[in-house]
């Protein structure tokens, strides 16, 4: 509703709660999410993924337990781990106990207990109270594995090529290799994760310093854009080209330096997968690939700049206008910190709940046998197994811990709870992002629709917009984020299905099935991008007029379609320039992090921490820098989108007369309305707008 008082025109929007049903649904879903978290925390036990477990399901080295001083797991007969079933069950069919330290010499139970009668020794072996043999072992991921090595090209254990297996038979040391290999398959990934975790513990403060540098750099760029928008845009363009050019030069120098190094001509395919990514930096093909990628990026950026050279000046002027708006809403620059905080809470809750859900199973024991037995791999009870019918019929069997599982209703629906956890994570994360977009859109819309700027603006535009969004439009935010979350969870299911079908030979060879799955993944990726674009503009319309989601999405879509040329050549060019700014910040901080953590600069050689993988902090700093730069530049991006959409709406609803004056500033009018012939089409556009709104 419009009120005219003298020379001052004020627009008043009467708001009411929108999409109430979806708001109620979202609140109920959050309450159920808390219930799932409480249930998971009451049932879960994260120790199951930290400590090794013996044959009785006890944790080795867990404080406050009888095994507190026994942190290592020892296998009675590691050679039984050579069975192919180990790779399917992730459990060796041999007794496992917790020990204080790994054995350091050869020994057999027969030789060590010469004072006992042969019958007693036999009973110890039958009931598996002692291992038949001991071999020199070394601890690895809290487990004792034979100390294998090579001597004269022959595999040895403890400097011996043969050992006694406890029954008087001499075995070759190479017989231990298969058992050790299978026993370590399930824990190699865990060992890598432990090394990565150690790297984080040694470098977290340097990572934090890198992120602080990225924050200060981003803030400096934003402040300079506020006062020197034109100069800073050209400086950003030049620096991006220079930084990428330096990257191409550095990759070429590394490629040339490795030309004379032996073994540097190995291909990536021949090298295969390596957990230590530093290995890839020692071959030429890696640096050649980096150089080609950077050359392609450089060429694309230069071609885009040449192609868009006439539109750059207009985009720069639009950024200047956005800078003026941000100058009146300076607290908007710090709003991304609030969004980061909310997202951190959502991510932390999801991660903790996922860990507790995955560790809320009960220990399952199964029958393991050396000779044929009808009860093989059946569930058993270790407490009374020695007197059970299974043991009586199959004396050679034993009841060992197999895995964590369960047969209760809770355990049967555990996968459903995990799915619900992932879905609510997407919904809550999208809701937080949507709240930030609507809040910033409301703040900048209050700037645009203020006839006298900044006198007609609220005292605290960001806080006012945040309050309106939560009070009136929580349901709308939940509705938009729900649609996006459904599409994202479908994409996750498609990726999961693709991963599972690759293991089926018949499906993997079916080209039609692969083509259909690829098309589905591509379609839902495009749909997700479209919904994100539509939601963003719908939230702007909700912030302006206070209507529900569907009406606002429809109005925004038709408004953008009627101004498609402007959207393509102005709004997106501005987004491209802001992307270059983010790319520049990430490039500068990433280059600094690379030279620091890799030790390439002698000045930092003694300062940088000693790490297993120096790429861990580098990637963390690069990703964190991008998120930080994206958070700050998203304020500019949201401001530009809001001003652009308000301009299009203002152009259709007003004609610049005294009765219906424009709310746009003279500068914005000059920037976005270059073609004066547009004025002849205003009446036609208004008629079309009214027809669209009456649908």
How is 264-301 classified by DSSP, letter by letter? TT--HHHH---S-GGGGGGSHHHHHHHHHHHHHHHHHH
In the chain the first and final C-alpha atoms are separated, in Å, by 21
Q: Are strands 143-146 and 148-151 parallel, antiparallel or unpaired?
A: unpaired
pLDDT in tens, 654-672: 777 777 777 777 766 766 6
CB 294 within 8 Å of CB 248: yes
pLDDT in tens, 331-362: 888 888 888 888 889 988 988 888 788 777 66
Tell me the C-alpha distance between 85 and 403, whole Å. Answer: 14
Q: Are strands 170-172 and 137-140 parallel, antiparallel or unpaired?
A: unpaired
Rounded to two decimals, the pTM is: 0.69
pLDDT at residue 677, as a whole number:
41
Q: Around Cβ 543, how many Cβ atoms within 10 Å?
A: 27
Local mean pLDDT, 10-residue blocks, the chain (695 residues): 41 72 94 91 71 72 77 73 43 72 70 49 49 71 69 62 60 59 49 68 80 85 76 81 86 81 68 60 79 89 79 75 82 84 88 80 72 77 76 78 62 80 92 92 86 76 90 92 93 80 59 82 90 91 89 89 72 76 84 78 69 78 84 83 84 76 73 49 46 49
Tell me the C-alpha distance between 262 and 278, whole Å. Answer: 16
CA-to-CA dists, residue 22 to 417, 543, 548, angstroms: 22, 18, 11
Nearest 10 degrees: Cα torsion 212, 217, 219, 225: -170
pLDDT at residue 438, as a whole number:
92
pLDDT at residue 673, as a whole number:
60
How many angstroms from the chain centroid is the CA of residue 283? Answer: 29
Radius of gyration of the CA atoms of the chain, in A: 33
pLDDT at residue 96, as a whole number:
78
Tell which residue, 345, 304, 278, has the closest CA to residue 598: 278
């Amino acid at each position: 509703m419009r009120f005219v008082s003298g020379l001052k025109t004020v627009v008043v929007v009467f708001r009411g709660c929108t999409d109430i049903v979806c708001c109620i649904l979202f609140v109920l879903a959050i309450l159920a999410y808390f219930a799932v978290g409480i249930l998971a925390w009451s049932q879960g036990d994260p120790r199951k993924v930290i400590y090794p477990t013996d044959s009785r399901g006890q944790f080795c080295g867990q404080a406050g337990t009888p095994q507190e001083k026994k942190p290592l797991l020892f296998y009675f007969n590691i050679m039984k781990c050579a069975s192919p079933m180990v790779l399917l069950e992730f459990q060796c069919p041999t007794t496992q106990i917790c020990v204080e330290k790994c054995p350091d010499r050869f020994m057999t139970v027969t030789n060590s207990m010469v004072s006992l009668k042969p019958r007693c020794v036999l009973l110890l072996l039958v009931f598996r109270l002692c291992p038949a043999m001991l071999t020199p072992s070394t601890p690895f991921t809290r487990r004792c594995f034979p100390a294998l090595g090579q001597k004269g090209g022959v595999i040895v254990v403890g400097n011996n090529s043969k050992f006694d297996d406890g029954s008087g038979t001499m075995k070759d040391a190479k017989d231990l290799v298969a058992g050790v290999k299978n026993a370590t398959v399930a824990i190699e990934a865990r060992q890598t994760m432990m090394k990565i975790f150690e790297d984080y513990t040694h470098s977290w403060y340097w990572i934090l310093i890198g992120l602080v540098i990225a924050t200060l750099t981003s803030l400096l760029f934003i402040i300079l854009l506020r006062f020197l928008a034109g100069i800073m845009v050209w400086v950003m363009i030049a620096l991006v080209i220079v930084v990428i050019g330096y990257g191409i030069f550095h990759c070429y120098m590394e490629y040339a330096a490795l030309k004379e190094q032996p073994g540097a001509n190995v291909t990536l395919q021949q090298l295969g997968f390596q957990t230590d990514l530093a290995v890839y930096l020692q071959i030429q093909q890696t640096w050649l690939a980096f150089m080609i990628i950077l050359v392609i990026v450089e060429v694309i950026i230069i071609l885009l700049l040449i192609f868009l050279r006439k539109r750059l000046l207009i985009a720069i002027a639009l950024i200047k206008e956005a800078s003026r708006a941000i100058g009146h809403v300076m607290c908007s620059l710090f709003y991304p910190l609030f969004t980061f905080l909310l997202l951190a809470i959502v991510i932390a809750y999801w991660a903790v709940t996922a860990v507790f859900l995955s560790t809320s199973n009960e220990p399952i024991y199964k029958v393991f046998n050396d000779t044929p037995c009808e009860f093989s791999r059946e569930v058993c009870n270790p407490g009374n197994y020695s007197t059970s019918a299974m043991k009586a019929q199959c004396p050679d069997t034993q009841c060992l811990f197999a895995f964590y599982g369960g047969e209760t209703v809770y355990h049967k629906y555990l996968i459903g709870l995990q799915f619900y956890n992932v879905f609510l994570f997407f919904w809550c994360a999208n809701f937080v992002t949507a709240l930030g977009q609507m809040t910033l859109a409301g703040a900048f819309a209050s700037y645009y629709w203020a006839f006298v700027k900044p006198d007609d603006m609220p005292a605290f535009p960001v806080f006012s917009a945040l309050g309106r969004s939560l009070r009136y439009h929580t349901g709308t935010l939940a509705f938009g984020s729900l649609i996006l979350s459904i599409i994202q969870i479908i994409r996750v299911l498609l990726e999961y299905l693709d991963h599972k079908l690759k293991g089926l030979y018949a499906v993997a060879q079916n080209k039609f099935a692969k083509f259909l799955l690829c098309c589905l993944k591509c379609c839902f990726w495009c749909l997700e991008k479209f919904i994100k674009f539509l939601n963003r503009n719908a939230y702007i319309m909700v912030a302006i007029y206070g209507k529900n989601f569907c009406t606002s999405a429809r109005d925004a879509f038709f408004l953008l379609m009627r101004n498609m040329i402007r959207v393509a050549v102005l709004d997106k060019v501005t987004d491209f320039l802001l992307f270059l700014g983010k790319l520049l910040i990430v490039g500068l901080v990433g280059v600094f992090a690379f030279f620091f953590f890799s030790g390439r600069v002698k000045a930092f050689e003694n300062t940088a921490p000693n790490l297993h993988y120096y790429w861990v902090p580098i990637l963390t700093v690069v990703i964190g820098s991008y998120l930080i730069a994206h958070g700050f530049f998203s304020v500019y991006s949201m401001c530009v989108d809001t001003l652009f959409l308000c301009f299009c709406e203002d152009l259709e609803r007003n004609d610049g007369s005294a009765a219906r004056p424009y709310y746009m500033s003279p500068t914005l009018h000059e920037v976005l309305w270059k073609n004066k012939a547009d004025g002849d089409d205003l009446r036609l556009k208004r008629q079309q707008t009214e027809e669209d709104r009456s649908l």
